[in-house]
Amino acid sequence: MTASPHMRDLARRLLTYEAGAGKTCEPIEFPTLRVYEKLRKGLGEFAGVAGFQSLASRALVLAKTEAPSLSTVRIAADGALQGFEQGVDNSECSIEGDKDKAAEHPVSERGVILISRLFGLLLIFLGEALTLSLLRITWPGAALDDCNSENGRKA
């Protein structure tokens, strides 16, 4: 079972947003690491280190079924993502749509998978309103308001 298209879209939006905020010459994995660390900080304050570590570990297990290249990745006891930079195949880079935008702000497909799985678990445990509220607080400049929710409503 794969992550929902809505969660993938949301993950892709935030990764693309972070890619645009970073240096254009940095590795494609950096936006994923920045999104992950911001989530770790925000959710760590809300759910505690152990709570976030547990959630992230489950998201990683689910993501590995879709992206075997995540097999080298681990979640540390403090919730930090370890080994994500290893085994990167730059051919996994993609942004749906305009190829010029993809070259300008590439994101890792395995990053989209991991973050979308994390978002999916947040949606299950926190609900849509609280999850989107957390994301809006963490990324106040990102365009999250035009994402359609799972129910077909504006999020």
Domain assignment present for 68? yes
pTM: 0.79
Domain assignment present for 155? no
Domain assignment present for 146? no
Question: Around Cβ 87, how many Cβ atoms within 10 Å?
Answer: 13
In tens digits, the chain (155 residues) has pLDDT values of 667 888 999 999 999 988 887 655 555 678 899 999 999 998 888 889 999 999 999 999 999 999 999 999 999 999 999 998 865 544 444 434 333 443 445 688 999 999 999 999 999 998 989 988 889 999 988 777 555 444 444 43
Owning domain of residue 100: 5-85+92-138
Report the number of distinct structural domains present in the chain. 1
Domain assignment present for 121? yes
Alpha helix (H) ranges present in the chain?
Answer: 5-21, 30-66, 99-104, 109-126, 128-138
Domain assignment present for 26? yes
